[in-house]
Structures are given as C-alpha cells and as structure tokens.
Amino acid sequence: MAKKTIRDIDVHGKKVLIRVDFNVPLKNGEISDENRIVEALPTIRYVLENGGKAIVFSHLGRVKDESDKAKNSLEVVAKRLGTHLKQDVVFVPVTRGKALEDAINALENGQVLMFENTRFEDIEGNKESKNNPELGAYWASLGDVFVNDAFGTAHRAAASNVGIAANIKQTVAGFLLEKEINFIGGTLEKPERPFVAILGGAKVSDKIEVIQNLLKIADKVLIGGGMAFTFFKAMGYEVGKSLLELDKVELAKELLDQAQGKIELGDDVYTGKGFSADTEKNVRSIHEIPQDEMGLDIGPRTIEIFKSYIKSAKTVVWNGPMGVFEFPSFAEGTKSVALAAASIKNQATTIIGGGDSAAAVIQFGLADGFTHISTGGGASLEYLEGKVLPGIACVDDK
C-alpha cells in the first residue's frame, strides 16, 4: 500500500496539522503509560527540525458530558510532550475559536502547539467521533498540510482524520502510521514463511473475521485464551466452568473444518475453581476438565507445542493473551509465548497487534524483543481482518 508520508512534503514555514493518538491511561491525573507519546515523537520532531509549525491534537478518554472534561484534559499530556521535546508546548484549552486561531497564527517555525481534547466537541453536539463535516472543514482551515499519525483511531472515520483530509490539499502519513502500514499491512500482503499467527483473548465472536482472514494467509494459527474453550466444545469436549460462547460452537466447528489442520489449540490447560488470583492451580488435559473448574491459561504441554511452531517461524503476528495474565499464577502461558517470540527477533518479523497482548509484553519487560508493537487495539484487529481502514484510506496515494 503506497501512501505518501511526511518525507514527501515540504513542511518549512507550514502550519502542519498532526493528528496523534495521545489517548494515554491516566491514574489520579498522572500518565501511567506514555508509550503512545513516545511513538509520536519522531513525526513531531521531524516537523520542528525542518522548520514547520506543529499543531498537535488528539482525543483522550470517554467524554459523554461536562463532568468528563476535567479528568480528560490534554493539558497534562502537553506538559509531558514538552518534557520529551525539551521545549515549551503551547497548550490551548479549547477546540475552536479565536483564541485557538490567534495562538496558531502566532507560532514561529520550530514551535509546537496542542489544542484540547477533540472529543470535547461531541458534548457540544458537533460529533467529532461521527465525522461532522463542518468540524472537519474548520480544523482543516487551521493548517496548510495534514499529517495523520494516529493509527489507534484509523479504523474510525472522524472529523479529526477523514474530515480534515477531505478539506485540505495534502494529507500524508506520519512515521508511526507508516510503520503500522508497513508492518501489519505489508506482512499480511507478503509474509515471509512459515507465518504463524497467535490469537487469544476472551471471545471467538470478537475475532471471527480475523481467524477467517488469517486462515487464508497463515501457515499455522495458534489459539489460546478464553476463546479456545468454544473450540474445545466444538470438538466434543466438556469445558467445566470455562468461558464459553454456546451460540458460537457451530461457527467454531465450521472454522475448524475450514482450517484443514491449520488451527492448533494444544492439549492441556491450567485450571482453577474460581476466577481469582489465589484459586488453586491444576493441570488438566482438554478432555478431562472437571465440571467445577475453569480454564485460566494454556497448559505446559500446550506451551511447548506453541513454542515449537513459534521458534521455526519467519513471521509471527500475535493478538490476544493466552490466559488471565493479570493473575501471576496464570501468566505462564502468555509469558512463555512472549519469550518464545522475543527469542526469534533476529531471524523473524514479530508483530504484536496492540491491545492486551501489547500490555502483557510491556508488563513482562519484553517490548524490545519485538519487531513492532502496534499502538492500536481495535485498529490492528480490523487491519488483521483485512478491512480498509478509513484513517489510512484518507491519506494521499503516492
């Protein structure tokens, strides 16, 4: 997918609108994970170092009414950005109007400004998240060129991506969006083989289209996590109190038939009697799960089976944990898969598709062991489904 990038335009003296994804987690008003800020720095620095005026904006959190504004202001993010850039970031606490326009017009080359949470517009009825046309046109009028670097929102058509792109002469990808296109999009188009996909998480229903798409492309699809139990049920096994989507059992049967041996589920699980960190831990074969126990992680034999496929792979794409990794007793499967994938970084392309699997890898201190960790959970999932993402489609083609 050949898209124009920030390298293809001259930013000197230009007012450069940069849509980033600074939807970072906040605890007691403090940023608890700044990965999305760090990932956006190369694009912002490029604009500043090449004499552009950077106008940065993002959404943050869920904003439903006025009471959500105070806890979802981007001011704290602007300060953290300034620390990374080692320069002041002009923060404008509004999303439109004369104060914003004057502040932008006062910018000099090499300066950076951030305006307030784009989703504040949803409260006013302008529906940024619904791609209000007037709002997209207004934001486009504030700049000369538009750089979309927010992969995390690329699966949604909003005023702050598609709306601006429709009303400005040049729309290009930032370095982060380019990286996501190259790694996820490029891998799905031309994977080096063997290509092993690893899927986990709670529900088959969340990943039907991902499974269907990856079965066309991958050499092996390893399935763990809560979603595996619907497949075990489809194979005729009892799953006790394990997570189960009864209405998806027939679909699981169809997917197993389609797979023609490509799906690997392993043959044992770690179980507990309750969903808690301190429940007793047992190893059970998949055809011997007691009625009063639930599967909470892939088992030791399954871990070894999964590791054997991973270690021979040339491409690995992983989305979704293997178990309840938040409970230390049931983190072994997810951590073992992470370690196996990290161990082949020098001989394979290893991609984490955002979401909980990315959180797990970061929690385990293994982030540097992967070729690419996606910054988009929902966006990476839809990309893996083979869908066209609006936030990528709106970028100018080369």
Span 362-371, pLDDT tens digits: 889 999 999 9
How far apart CA 30 and CA 358 sit, in angstroms, is 21
Instruction: Answer left, alpha or beta for residue 362, where phi above 0 means left and psi between -120 and 50 means alpha.
Output: alpha
Q: Looking at residue 161, what DSSP letter applies?
A: I
How far apart CA 84 and CA 77 sit, in angstroms, is 11
Q: CA geometry: angle at 371 spanning 366 and 373, to 5°?
A: 65
Beta strands at 282-285 and 268-272: parallel, antiparallel or unpaired:
antiparallel
Q: What is the mean pLDDT of the chain?
A: 95
How far apart CA 208 and CA 227 sit, in angstroms, is 10
The kind and range of the H/E element at 196 are: strand 195-199
> What's residue 1's pLDDT?
59
**Contact status, residue 358 vs residue 378, Cβ threshold 8 Å:** no
Summarize the confidence of residues 184-209 as an average pLDDT. Answer: 92
**Does the fold of domain 183-384 match that of domain 6-176?**
yes
Give the strand order in the sheet containing 145-148: 89-92, 112-115, 53-57, 15-19, 145-148, 171-173
pLDDT at 85 over 90: yes
Summarize the confidence of residues 100-118 as an average pLDDT. Answer: 98
pLDDT at 349 over 90: yes
CATH topology of domain 183-384: Rossmann fold (3.40.50)
pTM of the model: 0.90
Q: Is 53 exposed, middle or buried (0-12, 13-18, 19+ CB in 10 A)?
A: buried
Please give, one letter per residue, the 3-state secondary structure of 278-302.
CCCCEEEECCCCCCCCEEEEECHHH
pLDDT digits (tens, 9 = 90+) for 31-46: 998 989 999 999 999 9
CA of residue 71 relative to chain centroid, distance: 23
- DSSP letter string, 74-130: SHHHHHHHHHHHTS-EEEES-SSSHHHHHHHHT--TT-EEEE--TTHHHHTT--GGG
Q: Looking at residue 219, what DSSP letter applies?
A: S
Q: Among all residues, which ones are annotated catalytic? A: 36, 203, 355, 378
Half-sphere exposure of 350 (CA within 13 A, CB side): 25
How far apart CA 39 and CA 14 sit, in angstroms, is 23
Share of the chain above pLDDT 90, in %: 88
> What's residue 70's pLDDT?
87
The kind and range of the H/E element at 363 are: helix 355-363
CATH topology of domain 6-176: Rossmann fold (3.40.50)
pLDDT digits (tens, 9 = 90+) for 134-177: 999 999 999 999 999 999 999 999 999 999 999 999 999 999 99
Domain extents in the chain: 6-176, 183-384
**Contact status, residue 62 vs residue 52, Cβ threshold 8 Å:** no
Using pLDDT thresholds of 50, 70 and 90, give the confidence band for residue 187.
confident
Grouping H, G, I as helix, E, B as strand and the rest as coil, residue 387 is coil
Using pLDDT thresholds of 50, 70 and 90, give the confidence band for residue 356.
confident
